[in-house]
Amino acid sequence: MQVKVFITPRKGILDPQGRVVEQSLRTLGFKDVTDVKVGKYIVLNVAAPSVAAAREETKRMCERLLANPNIEDFSFEVEGE
Amino acid sequence: MKWGVVRFPGSLDDNDALYALAEVMEQEAALLWHKDTSLAGAECVLLPGGFSYGDYLRTGAIARFSPIMKSVEKFAADGGLVIGTCNGFQILCEAHLLPGALTRNRSLAFICERVHVRVENERTPFTRAMRRGDVLKLPIKHGEGLYVAPETELLQMEERGQIILRYCDADGAESEAANPNGSMRAIAGVANERFNVFGLMPHPEHAVEAMLGGTDGRKIFESIAGRA
């Protein structure tokens, strides 16, 4: 089952990359852009008997390694949901 | 005192740390390999700077799961002294041996320069040869040194005295300009609640000889070695 994991800087945590990208977009004339965040996108396959099992496994992977809860939030989509 | 310096794939400052400890500080220092589990009788473990495992995913995120770190975690839990500089600090945070995390510098630029830090708590094994308010001149060289922790945690750390070093100017005063990477509360170094684990972004091992720009780094090693 393919899983797409999205990791973003936690709310309230300074995201200098997002800030600079936002400034750059504004400089280019995209005046309406706000709240830019730069994060990570991880794709993986997990052999699981059900979507629920894949979700549980992915959540554990995120908590253990893929995201740092001190500074990052994570969300994910499991194929077939 | 017996020191163990861990070498991860991608460590850079391991040899400099060994040199500083063995040649300059006249300590017994040995290299520890990341795949080993023995700390070889070390009384203090040093995690050096560098880019362990390429800093893939996040700085220190992969290194913290290397075999040696299980032993380091147990050693720390038993009260053993652990110091992490730069990447070593990042690894200690990822391993939850220290609170908080280190993220991309405010400027997004890699910073390589000498900075000043102020000693905020001298009653630790890592600062006992100094006095509160002492200003040290130490080099930094990092892209991800912006210290971050939840506000509630920062308050507790302040109360407990876990903030050990703060960026400041040459006179010991804090300012925006004197905070090179934008760290919260100008934090340059922190300890755990038991004060046996210490992490700092500056490099004491690169400040042990006057010919190379200063000797303030010695004070940290002297503090630690004096305890044994």
Encoding tokens for residue A58? Answer: 């992915």
pLDDT tens column, B75-112: 999 999 999 999 999 999 999 999 999 999 999 999 99
Does B227 have pLDDT greater than 60?
A: no
| Four-point Cα dihedral B12, B118, B30, B112, nearest 10 | 10
CA-closest candidate to residue B190, choices B110, B85, B70: B85
Average pLDDT of every residue of chain A: 94
How big is the A-B interface in CB pairs under 8 Å? 36
pLDDT band at B228 (very low <50, low <70, confident <90, very high): very low
Domain extent listing, chain B: 2-225
pLDDT tens column, B16-33: 999 999 999 999 999 999
**Global pTM?**
0.94
Stretch 134-163 of chain B: residues touching chain A, C-beta under 8 Å: 146, 148-150
Does B173 have pLDDT greater than 70?
A: yes
- Asked if the C-beta of A20 comes within 8 angstroms of chain B's C-beta atoms, the answer is yes
CATH topology of domain B2-225: Rossmann fold (3.40.50)
B112 as an active site residue: the answer is no
Do residues B71 and B78 touch, judged by C-beta distance below 8 A?
no
Q: Does the predicted interface ipTM exceed a cut of 0.90? A: no
Neighbours of B177 (CB within 10 A): 8
Residues A2-78: name the CATH superfamily: Phosphoribosylformylglycinamidine synthase subunit PurS (3.30.1280.10)
Does A54 have pLDDT greater than 50?
A: yes
CB burial string B180-217: b at 16+ within 10 A, e below: bbbbbebbbbbbbeebbbbbbbbbbbbbbeeeeebbbb
The set of residues, in sequence order, having a beta carbon less than 8 Å from that of B94 and lying 6+ positions away, is A68, B58, B59, B60, B61, B63, B64, B101
